[in-house]
Amino acid sequence: MEPSQVLIRPVVSEKSYVLSAANRYTFRVHPDAHKTQIRQAVEELFGVHVVEVRTLSVKSKPKRRGTTRGRTRTWKKAIVQIRDGETIPIFQGLGALEGS
């Protein structure tokens, strides 16, 4: 699996922004990707050194719109900690949201 297939997109939320201050970045990843693949993908795509990778499956939630019932998709999330002093440029624009 190629690195661009392993990492789907960054997760941008309040919690992920707080974690980014501690050099932990959150990504939505391919459901079949394991920790070693995630580590290699982040290191190759962003040129940083990964210290730790934690993964979890986000369970689906029931949703309703009128009388139609359904569920959201289940997806996999990875929280990646990188070496002190290094950053990932995708999350640099989040500092502008802090003043809002």
**Helix H segments across 25-84?**
35-46
pLDDT given for residue 89 in this prediction: 82
pLDDT given for residue 1 in this prediction: 85
* Strand boundaries in the chain, DSSP class E: 7-10, 24-29, 50-58, 62-65, 68-71, 75-82
Which superfamily, per CATH, for 3-86? RRM (RNA recognition motif) domain (3.30.70.330)
The tens place of each residue's pLDDT in the chain, 100 residues long, gives 899 999 999 999 999 989 988 999 999 999 999 999 999 999 999 999 999 999 999 999 999 999 999 999 999 999 999 999 999 887 665 554 454 4
Integer angstrom CA distances of residue 44 from 47, 50, 59, 87: 6, 10, 29, 14
List the chain domain ranges: 3-86
